[in-house]
Chains A and B, each alone.
Chain A
Amino acid sequence: MSEHEDEREVERLYRQLPREEPPAALDAKLRAEARRAVVSHPAPLVAPTGRRSWYFPVAAAAVIVLAVAVTWQVEREQVDEGAPLPQSAPVPALRKEQKLPEQAPQKAPEARQYAPLAKRAEKPAEEAKNQAPAEAARDQAPAASVAGTLSQSREDALGERENRMRQERPGGAVAPSAAPPARRELQRDAIQAQGRASFADEPPEKWLERIAQLRQQGRHDEADKALAEFRKRYPDYRIPEATLEKVEKK
Chain B
Amino acid sequence: MEAPDEELMLAYGNGDAGAFDTLYARHRGTLFRYVLRGVKVRAIAEELYQEIWILVIEARKRYAPSARFTTWLYTIAHNRLVDHWRRKELALVPADDEQQPASAAADPARQLEGREALARFAKALEALPHQQREAFLLHEEAELTALEIAAVTNSEPEAVKSRLRYAYAKLKAATDV
* Chains A and B bind each other: yes
Q: Is the CB of A13 within 8 A of B75?
A: no
Number of interface residues of A (CB under 8 A): 35
Binary A-proximity of B1-26 (CB < 8 A = 1, otherwise 0): 00000000000100111001100100
Partner of A22, one of B46, B59, B79, B154: B46
Binary B-proximity of A1-39 (CB < 8 A = 1, otherwise 0): 001001101110110110111110011011101110111
Contacts A6-B172, A11-B140, A38-B17 given; does A231 touch B29 at CB 8 Å: no
Tell me, in angstroms, the Cα distance from A234 to B66 when the chains sit together. 13
Closest to A228 in B: B66
Partner of A238, one of B12, B58, B172: B58
Tell me, in angstroms, the Cα distance from A23 to B53 when the chains sit together. 14
A3 to chain B minimum Cβ distance, whole angstroms, is 8
**Residue A249, interface by CB 8 Å:** no
Question: Which of B17, B75, B169 gathers most chain A CB within 10 Å?
Answer: B17
Contacts A26-B49, A238-B58 given; does A34 touch B17 at CB 8 Å: yes
B137 to chain A minimum Cβ distance, whole angstroms, is 9
**Residue B41, interface by CB 8 Å:** no
Tell me, in angstroms, the Cα distance from A19 to B75 when the chains sit together. 22
Question: Which of A3, A29, A235, A238 gathers most chain B CB within 10 Å?
Answer: A235
Q: Is the CB of B62 within 8 A of A231?
A: yes
Q: Is the CB of B28 within 8 A of A22?
A: yes
Q: Is the CB of A14 within 8 A of B121?
A: yes
Tell me, in angstroms, the Cα distance from A96 to B77 when the chains sit together. 44
Tell me, in angstroms, the Cα distance from A93 to B66 when the chains sit together. 52
Partner of A34, one of B24, B62, B171: B24
Within 8 A of A (CB), among B33-86: 33, 36, 42, 46, 49-50, 53-60, 62-64, 66-67, 72, 75-76, 79-80
Partner of B122, one of A17, A23, A33, A228: A17
B8 to chain A minimum Cβ distance, whole angstroms, is 12
**Residue A200, interface by CB 8 Å:** yes
Q: Is the CB of A21 within 8 A of B28?
A: yes
A contact residues around B117 at 8 Å (CB): 13
Tell me, in angstroms, the Cα distance from A238 to B57 when the chains sit together. 12
**Residue A236, interface by CB 8 Å:** yes
A contact residues around B58 at 8 Å (CB): 37, 236, 238
**Residue B131, interface by CB 8 Å:** no
Within 8 A of B (CB), among A182-229: 200, 228
Tell me, in angstroms, the Cα distance from A10 to B139 when the chains sit together. 12
- Given A20-B36, A29-B50, A39-B17, 4 additional A-B pairs, CB 8 A: A20-B32, A30-B57, A37-B58, A236-B55
A and B contact pairs by CB, cutoff 8 A, 10 listed: A10-B121, A13-B175, A27-B24, A30-B53, A33-B54, A33-B57, A34-B12, A39-B17, A232-B151, A236-B56
